[in-house]
């Protein structure tokens, strides 16, 4: 069973990669993280 933190860390890492590729702004990244939670 994955802990919430480990899931968030993985999702965050993926979002960071996307943000670097698509130059997403920080607000979009935060919304994406919150939507997962």
At 36, the pLDDT band (50, 70, 90 cuts) reads confident
Tell me the C-alpha distance between 33 and 15, whole Å.
Answer: 8
For residue 2, with 0-12 CB atoms within 10 Å meaning exposed, 13-18 middle and 19 or more buried, which class applies?
Answer: exposed
At 24, the pLDDT band (50, 70, 90 cuts) reads low
Domain boundaries, the chain: 4-36
**Residue 27: per-residue pLDDT:** 74
**Residue 26: per-residue pLDDT:** 73
For the cut 80, the answer to whether the pLDDT of residue 12 exceeds it is yes
Selected residue with higher pLDDT from 16 and 9:
9
Kindly state the average pLDDT of the residues 15-20.
Answer: 76
């Amino acid at each position: 069973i994955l802990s919430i933190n480990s899931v968030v860390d993985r999702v965050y890492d993926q979002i960071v990669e996307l943000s670097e590729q698509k130059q997403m702004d920080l607000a979009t990244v935060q919304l994406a993280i919150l939507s997962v939670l």
